Amino acid sequence: MIAAAPGASIPVGRRVRVQVPATSANLGPGFDTLGLALNVHDELEVEATAGTAVRVEVEGVGADEVPTDETNLVARSLLHVLEAVGVEAPGLVLRARNSIPHGRGMGSSGAAIVSGVLAAQGLLEGLVELADADVLRLATELEGHPDNVAPAIFGGLTIAWVDETGPRHKQLAVHRGVSLLVAVPEATMSTKLARSLQPEAVPHADAVFNLSRSALLVAALTQSPELLLDATEDRLHQTYRASAMPETSALVGALRAAGHAAVVSGAGPSVLVLAGDPAARLEAAAIVESRDEPWRALLLAVDIRGGTVEPIPPQAAA
């Protein structure tokens, strides 16, 4: 990443539009490594204005809950990028239309971070060139790990890891036979709480178990959907977190007992089903809807585009 030339500034009136998908991380055995982009999106428009004030307008999910100033996560992420490249922040107006549920294990915080980073990338056009690797690194700095931000940026199925150069990723195409279902409860779950339930060490046999299932899951998602049930077995995180979300654990158990590849979506409490065909997905949805607890069954697809940013031409400005 190259820093901006001294004195470089974002032109007042420059506007960009950003769209970022929801994500589901872990996918069972791929803890902190595997992630999948979903076709539910948050949308954002950002305008550079005179002065230094930051104003955030939110429609949809979180409209009555999220901050509307520079402490908003999207705004903080955008400002983080500008500081990193040495460009003074202009005034900013952010208009967000949110559809990704908050606190449900569908990557809402990762999507907010990626939205801010991509908005900064668009505003910096002609001043600083942010490559894909820069976007991933900056988003990971803010999120702490790349498993959610990688699919939000690049789309599809992603494998994310970190080496001495920073976060890296590999994007893969999901087999067209795979159908997705996300069961969303009314309850929320704190990612911080979920992570606190993880032990610092796990048995050697469990580590080997998950290594085999993670490798198998990549094959199942890209080539052999008939292996999805075996490939989504996990011994590293879901059992330890079950006590904090018993309804989620019970639903995962009921779905798997019926032959469906169900896992906790991210940190939960939503449940992701990786169905081998549309008929199996409908069967899973019927099980979700038959539960005593209220769940929303979302029939989704894999988002293959990932996050996008585009300029808004001056003539399109309202």
Q: What is the CATH number of the domain that holds 184?
A: 3.30.70.890
- In this predicted model, what pLDDT tens digit does every residue of 116-162 receive, in sequence order? 999 999 999 999 999 999 999 999 999 999 999 999 999 999 999 99
User: Both 307 and 252 in a single domain?
Assistant: no
Mean pLDDT along residues 95-99: 98
Domain span at 137 = 15-170+303-313
Residue 155 labelled as part of a binding site: no
* pLDDT tier at 237, thresholds 50, 70, 90: confident
Which residue did the predictor score with more confidence, 237 or 235?
Answer: 235
Residue 111 labelled as part of a binding site: yes
User: Both 19 and 102 in a single domain?
Assistant: yes
Residue 175 labelled as part of a binding site: no
| Cα(101)–Cα(89) distance, integer angstroms | 29
- Let me know if residue 9 belongs to a domain: no
pTM for this prediction: 0.94
Q: What is the pLDDT of residue 23?
A: 98
User: Both 60 and 155 in a single domain?
Assistant: yes
User: Both 26 and 160 in a single domain?
Assistant: yes
Task: Assess contact for 44 and 80: CB atoms under 8 A.
Answer: no
User: Both 166 and 226 in a single domain?
Assistant: no
Residue 106 labelled as part of a binding site: yes
User: Both 23 and 158 in a single domain?
Assistant: yes
- Let me know if residue 188 belongs to a domain: yes
* CATH assignment at residue 112: 3.30.230.10
| Cα(130)–Cα(120) distance, integer angstroms | 9
The residue type found at 63 is A
Residue 276 labelled as part of a binding site: no
Residue 24 labelled as part of a binding site: no
User: Both 29 and 135 in a single domain?
Assistant: yes
Mean pLDDT along residues 65-80: 97
Residue 105 labelled as part of a binding site: yes
User: Both 273 and 188 in a single domain?
Assistant: yes
| Cα(97)–Cα(17) distance, integer angstroms | 11
The residue type found at 106 is M
| Cα(299)–Cα(280) distance, integer angstroms | 12
- Let me know if residue 2 belongs to a domain: no
Residue 103 labelled as part of a binding site: yes
User: Both 161 and 31 in a single domain?
Assistant: yes
- Let me know if residue 318 belongs to a domain: no
- Let me know if residue 214 belongs to a domain: yes
Mean pLDDT along residues 85-94: 96
* pLDDT tier at 5, thresholds 50, 70, 90: confident
Say what the alpha-carbon torsion angle 84, 75, 144, 271 is, to the nearest 10 degrees: -150
- In this predicted model, what pLDDT tens digit does every residue of 160-210 receive, in sequence order? 999 999 999 999 999 999 999 999 999 887 767 766 767 778 889 989 999
Hey, how many other C-beta atoms are within 10 angstroms of the C-beta on 311?
13
User: What's the number of domains the chain is made of?
Assistant: 2
Residue 266 labelled as part of a binding site: no
| Cα(138)–Cα(149) distance, integer angstroms | 10
- Let me know if residue 139 belongs to a domain: yes
- Let me know if residue 152 belongs to a domain: yes
Residue 166 labelled as part of a binding site: no
318: pLDDT strictly greater than 60: no
Mean pLDDT of the chain: 94
User: Both 75 and 213 in a single domain?
Assistant: no
Residue 231 labelled as part of a binding site: no
Mean pLDDT along residues 219-223: 98
* The three-state (H, E, C) secondary structure of the chain, written as one string: CCCCCCCCCCCCCCEEEEEEEEEEECCCCCCCCEEEEEEEEEEEEEEEECCCCEEEEEEECCCCCCCCCCCCHHHHHHHHHHHHHCCCCCEEEEEEEECCCCCCCCCHHHHHHHHHHHHHHHHCCCCCCCCHHHHHHHHHHHHCCCCCHHHHHHCCEEEEEEECCEEEEEEECCCCCCEEEEEEECCCCCHHHHHHCCCCCCCHHHHHHHHHHHHHHHHHHHCCHHHHHHHCCCCCCHHHHHHHCHHHHHHHHHHHHCCCCEEECCCCCCEEEEECCHHHHHHHHHHHHCCCCCEEEEEECECCCCCEEEECCHHHCC
Q: What is the pLDDT of residue 1?
A: 63
User: Both 33 and 147 in a single domain?
Assistant: yes
- In this predicted model, what pLDDT tens digit does every residue of 261-310 receive, in sequence order? 999 999 899 999 999 999 999 999 999 999 988 999 999 999 999 999 99
User: Both 159 and 96 in a single domain?
Assistant: yes
